[in-house]
Amino acid sequence: MKIGFLQFNPVFGDKNKNFATVEKLLRDVDADIIVLPELFSTGYTFLDKEEVTKLAEPGDRGKTSNFILSLAKEKNCCFAYGFAEKDNQLFYDSMALISPDGLIGVYRKAHLFFEEKKFFQPGDTGFHIFEYKNVKLGMLICFDWIYPEAMRTLSIKGAQIILHPANLVTPYCPDAMITRAIENRVFIILANRCGEEKRDGKNNKFIGQSEVVSPQGEILIRVGQEECVKIVDIDPSLALNKKFNQYNDLLKDRRENLYFR
């Protein structure tokens, strides 16, 4: 299976320009699953709730989902991407998974970071498994990474590949994904954005460093700050083997009766 990420520097509030950049970067790309960054269509640095209200959209019938569905059909590829979601006058930092056949699922970010709490509701979807081409996929967004329970939950439920859009501004996550991949025996696609976003005195500088990590903790590909698409060929069945050695199975050896006592 060919999997990978698209890393770029979105323009705040200009969905059409961001769509055009994505199309350009994907022009000659052939893949099964591609992950785009968190909030890729809107940008990240909101100044007030009015901007969120203007730019947010439903997960299943918005401008962004229509664009991605068209792209999925054209490329015969499944896309995971971050967007600002509106649902019954509530707003979420969400991601969706769309195949050539349509929407597979939506996940809402559980662990909001910094000023995201001013604009979005904490996610209420929980952590679920979605399937594409008989491969089990889990979804997390950015700061969810720092809570090991989130990825462990997906691993216990059978995830083989973790799809992880991000807007990382701190340096820790890319290296931490090595540990997360090893302890859960999963592939991880981290799709971060790059560049800076300066708006009315606010300045966010994003670290880039998007990557794909194997269940053995091997960095299959990691990039720097450039706009790019990177694809690697993997065997998803490797993530079904949770054995650390001949005596230890990382999931079966869990001592649930001793945790949180």
The model carries a pTM of 0.98
Averaged confidence pLDDT in the chain: 98
Specify whether the CB–CB gap between 139 and 186 falls below 8 A.
no
pLDDT in the model for residue 78: 99
Contact indicator for 93, 114 with CB cutoff of 8 Å: no
Q: Which of 15, 75, 109, 136 is catalytic?
A: 109
Q: In what order do the strands lie in the sheet with 187-191?
A: 129-132, 135-139, 161-165, 187-191, 211-213, 219-222
Tell me how many domains the chain contains: 1
What percent of the chain shows pLDDT beyond 90? 99
The predicted pLDDT at position 162 comes to 99
Rounded CA separation 213/15 (Å): 30
Q: What is the CB neighbour count within 10 angstroms for residue 221? A: 15
Question: What is residue 261's predicted lDDT score, i.e. its pLDDT?
Answer: 85
Q: Is the pLDDT of residue 249 over 90?
A: yes
* Catalytic site includes residue 136: no
Residues counted in the chain: 261
Residue 9 has pLDDT above 90, yes or no: yes
Tokens 């056949």, residue located:
101
Band (pLDDT 50/70/90 cuts) for residue 74 is very high
Average pLDDT over residues 40-64: 98
Examine the pLDDT at 146 and tell me if it is beyond 90: yes
pLDDT band at 84 (very low <50, low <70, confident <90, very high): very high
Helices (H), 56-134: 63-75, 116-119
Q: What are phi and psi of 234, to 5 degrees?
A: -130, 165
Q: Which whole number is the average pLDDT over 14-42?
A: 99
Q: Is the pLDDT of residue 33 over 90?
A: yes
Q: Which domain holds residue 116?
A: 2-258
Work out the average pLDDT over 51-71.
97
The mean per-residue pLDDT over the stretch 190-218 comes to 98
Task: Indicate the pLDDT class of residue 258, thresholds 50, 70 and 90.
Answer: very high
Mean pLDDT of 4-24: 99
Say which of 38, 57, 85, 116 is annotated catalytic.
38
List the catalytic residue out of 78, 142, 173, 194. 142
Query: What pLDDT does residue 226 have?
Result: 99
Cβ partners under 8 Å of residue 207, min gap 6: 168, 169, 170, 171, 174, 192, 194, 225
Q: What is the CATH number of the domain that holds 219?
A: 3.60.110.10
23 counts as catalytic: no
The answer to whether residue 149 is catalytic is no
